[in-house]
């Protein structure tokens, strides 16, 4: 699972797992650890905001209960051909790489870390044929893994195939590379992307410590090439669930010509419950930040609904009702979908959203 230049961190801690292995070794066996050289350098001590995102935690082996899912967004059931996810009418997500710069311990695709599905020539043809035969698809998001971990020739070929399909208007790339492995954002990469405009980039970044000088340079190269940049930030307990931290992050991102786009509530992924905040926490934070910082720096707070029903913004209009143990949303198709609440969260959440419980 490791790529050249990446560091496998198998930190040993007290405590034994099966066969006498340390708990962290056992976590590593189930959910392999991968840390880029830059992130390794950015970590200052165990438990800091970078460490928590990428280093193993024995809580990953705990049973998260009946709400935990292997595929929380229902991607496998919405794949008309392997590695292509069609959840919305006019766009698809194409998993084109199984390699990441780092393994985020809260990843929604942890199921693929030890069971990757590499993109074969046959899969590429099948995806291309499906997109070609579906005129409603105007927007293709390349995802992974990380598309920017692909060889340049492969990335160029995939983009070129999509550009030959007349109804595909927009290409998007979802990546963590500019902050986790910015050395990959070379002049050659930027030139490849420039040839396929319009190309948009959604960059995953969660904490101000990730904004290194190298990351600033990578973002500048991409922005100078005319690539609109947006960020996606996952709200993570004990990492960034603090208005001061997110204020610094969002304002700094805007200075990089990278507009904060989404603040994402944690998915109900198996092994990640220790990262999950209450929905009210994200609402409280954005309420604190509103008018304190520019509206350009405020992302939408969204829940990606369990089962693959799509993203909904956390606003009163998206909420149908609040019950003692769950919040019920209506998605873009008018379908109801529930998300679990923390104990005692319902009344305060109802007040924040102006909804009666």
The per-residue pLDDT for range 139-148, each reduced to its tens digit, is: 999 999 999 9
Q: Does 218 or 306 have the greater pLDDT score?
A: 218
Please state the pTM of the whole predicted model: 0.87
Q: Among 25-29, 31-35, 94-98, which is the least confidently predicted range?
A: 25-29
Domain-by-domain residue ranges, the chain?
18-277, 301-357
Q: How far apart are CA 113 and CA 6, in angstroms?
A: 15
Q: Calculate what percentage of the chain has a pLDDT beyond 70.
A: 93
DSSP state of 165: S
Is the CB of residue 147 less than 8 Å from the CB of residue 97?
yes
- The pLDDT of 6-23, averaged and rounded, is 46
- The pLDDT of 56-73, averaged and rounded, is 87
- Judged against a pLDDT cut of 90, whether residue 64 lies above it is answered with no
- Please report which helix (H) or strand (E) contains residue 277, including its range: none
- Judged against a pLDDT cut of 50, whether residue 316 lies above it is answered with yes
Structure tokens at 270: 């198996």
Please tell me the predicted confidence (pLDDT) of residue 12: 35
Q: How far apart are CA 244 and CA 153, in angstroms?
A: 42
Q: How far apart are CA 254 and CA 294, in angstroms?
A: 9
- Please report which helix (H) or strand (E) contains residue 188, including its range: helix 187-194
Please tell me the predicted confidence (pLDDT) of residue 317: 75
- The pLDDT of 199-209, averaged and rounded, is 98
- The pLDDT of 6-22, averaged and rounded, is 44
Domain 18-277: top CATH class: alpha beta
Q: Among 9-23, 94-108, 168-182, 279-293, which is the least confidently predicted range?
A: 9-23
Q: Is 107 flagged in the annotation as binding? A: yes
Please enumerate in sequence order all residues whose Cβ is within 8 A of that of 275, keeping only pairs 6 or more positions apart, or say none. 105, 106, 234, 236, 237, 239, 266
Q: Is 337 flagged in the annotation as binding? A: no
Q: Is 104 flagged in the annotation as binding? A: yes
DSSP helix, strand, coil percent of the chain (3-state; round to 5): 35, 20, 45
Q: How far apart are CA 33 and CA 8, in angstroms?
A: 6
Please tell me the predicted confidence (pLDDT) of residue 21: 56
Average pLDDT, the chain: 91
What are the catalytic residues? Answer: 87-88, 91, 100, 104, 107, 109, 267, 304, 311
- The pLDDT of 13-28, averaged and rounded, is 62
Geometric angle at alpha carbon 41, from 271 and 218, rounded to 5°: 95
Tell me the range of 74-83, 309-318, 335-344 where mean pLDDT is highest.
74-83
3-state secondary structure 191-237: HHHHCCCCEEEEEECCCHHHCCHHHHHHHHHHHHCCCCEEEEEECCC
- The pLDDT of 32-40, averaged and rounded, is 97
């Amino acid at each position: 699972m490791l790529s050249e230049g990446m560091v496998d961190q198998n930190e040993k801690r007290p405590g034994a797992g099966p066969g006498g292995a340390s708990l962290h070794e056992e976590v590593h066996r189930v959910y392999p650890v991968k840390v880029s050289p830059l992130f390794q350098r950015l970590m200052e001590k165990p438990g800091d905001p970078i460490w928590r995102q990428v280093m193993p935690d024995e809580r990953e082996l705990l049973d998260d209960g009946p709400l935990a899912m292997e595929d929380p967004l229902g991607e496998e059931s919405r794949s008309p051909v392997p590695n292509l996810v069609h959840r919305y009418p006019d766009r698809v997500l194409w998993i084109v790489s199984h390699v990441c710069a780092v393994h985020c311990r809260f990843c929604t695709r942890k199921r693929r870390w030890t069971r990757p599905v590499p993109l074969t020539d046959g899969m590429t043809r099948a995806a291309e044929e499906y997109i070609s035969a579906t005129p409603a698809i105007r927007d293709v998001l390349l995802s992974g893994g990380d598309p920017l971990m692909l060889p340049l020739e492969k990335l160029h070929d995939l983009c070129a195939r999509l550009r030959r399909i007349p109804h595909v208007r927009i290409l998007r790339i979802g990546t963590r590379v500019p902050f986790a492995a910015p050395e990959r954002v070379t002049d050659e990469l930027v030139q490849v992307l420039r040839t396929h405009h319009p190309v948009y980039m959604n960059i995953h970044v969660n904490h101000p410590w990730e904004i290194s000088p190298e990351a600033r340079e990578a973002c500048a190269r991409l922005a100078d090439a005319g690539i609109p940049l947006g960020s996606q930030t996952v709200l993570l307990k004990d990492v960034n669930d603090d208005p001061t931290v997110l204020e610094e992050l969002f304002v700094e991102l805007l200075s990089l010509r990278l507009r904060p786009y989404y603040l994402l509530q944690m998915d109900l992924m198996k092994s990640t419950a220790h990262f999950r905040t209450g929905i009210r926490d994200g609402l409280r934070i954005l309420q604190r930040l509103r008018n304190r910082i520019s509206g350009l720096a405020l992302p939408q707070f969204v829940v990606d609904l369990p089962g693959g029903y799509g993203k909904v913004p956390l606003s009163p209009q998206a909420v149908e009702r609040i019950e003692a143990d769950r919040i019920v949303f209506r998605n873009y198709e008018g379908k109801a979908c529930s998300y679990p609440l923390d104990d005692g969260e319902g009344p305060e959440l109802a007040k924040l959203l102006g909804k009666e419980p």
